[in-house]
């Protein structure tokens, strides 16, 4: 529990509902869901139990991707955000560069939230309900960005995330299943000059790099750490 969160509840939740909200918060319910929105990369993002709460680590994924797009001179890149959830990544990209964004998610409920977020942030995004496994004829993209579910199914459920959608957090193959599927599909849908940007789990770097090297042997592959010094991001740059 933290007093700052209690202050937020008092500031943003109407008086008659504060007592109940504080009770729920003390029982471990996320303050972000109680308040109903978060700031992500300077944009207001509505959240509820249908979507993962955007993490600040993911802001670095956006920031690095924007820097790479600039460095390699991408102009109006066609971008695919896989597992968009609240839409926070797509919205942050749209707010910062000219780009065409398609954002997919398997969850209809998450897409509803993402659409609302695009609306309140005044950006146009092409939302598609689709499972990653079912991608076909998706056209050509210059950029794939994804913060897929990456916690291993074998891990115990963290009480901090128990109210979040589990299909946004957990995946097979020690949490690396979606990287494999995305990389395999990426070969068919990415332009020759392209970037794949992933957020990864802290023990997944070498495995994901190995997969990427097999599928994209000529790419520049960069791995970056988060503020806690954990390997957290992988960038695959096809020049
Ligand atoms: N970083 C998140 C967490 O630790 C996990 C996000 C994800 O699986 N993509 O809760």
DSSP per-residue codes, 121-149:
TT---EEEE--GGG--S---EEEEEE---
Nearest residue CA, atom 9 of ligand 1? 149
Confidence tier at 85 by pLDDT (50, 70, 90): very high
pLDDT at 1 over 80: no
* 54 Cα: distance to centroid of ligand 1 (angstroms): 9
175 phi/psi in degrees, rounded to 5: 90, 0
Q: What is the pTM of this model?
A: 0.96
* 150 Cα: distance to centroid of ligand 1 (angstroms): 6
Output the ligand 1 site: residues, CB below 6 A.
55, 147-151, 161, 169
Q: What is the pLDDT of residue 108?
A: 98
């Amino acid at each position: 529990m933290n007093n700052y969160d209690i202050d937020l509840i008092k500031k943003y939740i109407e008086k008659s509902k504060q007592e109940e909200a504080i009770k729920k918060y003390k029982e471990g319910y996320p303050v972000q869901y109680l308040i109903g929105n978060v700031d992500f990369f300077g944009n207001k993002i509505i959240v509820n139990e249908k979507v993962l709460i955007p993490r600040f680590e993911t802001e670095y994924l956006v920031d690095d991707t924007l820097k790479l797009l600039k460095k390699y001179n991408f102009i109006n890149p066609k971008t695919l955000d896989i597992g968009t959830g609240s839409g926070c990544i797509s919205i942050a990209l749209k707010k910062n560069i000219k780009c065409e964004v398609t954002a997919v998610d398997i969850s209809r409920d998450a897409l509803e939230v993402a659409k609302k977020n695009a609306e309140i942030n005044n950006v146009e995004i092409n939302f598609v309900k689709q499972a990653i496994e079912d991608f076909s004829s998706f056209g050509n993209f210059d950029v794939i960005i994804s913060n897929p579910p990456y916690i291993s199914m074998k891990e115990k459920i963290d009480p901090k995330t128990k109210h979040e959608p589990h299909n946004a957090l957990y995946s097979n193959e020690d949490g690396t299943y979606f990287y494999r599927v995305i990389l395999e599909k990426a070969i068919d849908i990415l332009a020759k000059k392209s970037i794949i940007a992933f957020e990864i789990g802290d023990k997944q770097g070498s495995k994901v790099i190995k997969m990427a090297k097999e599928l994209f042997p000529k790419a520049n592959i960069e791995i970056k750490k988060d503020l806690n010094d954990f390997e957290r991001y992988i960038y695959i740059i096809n020049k």
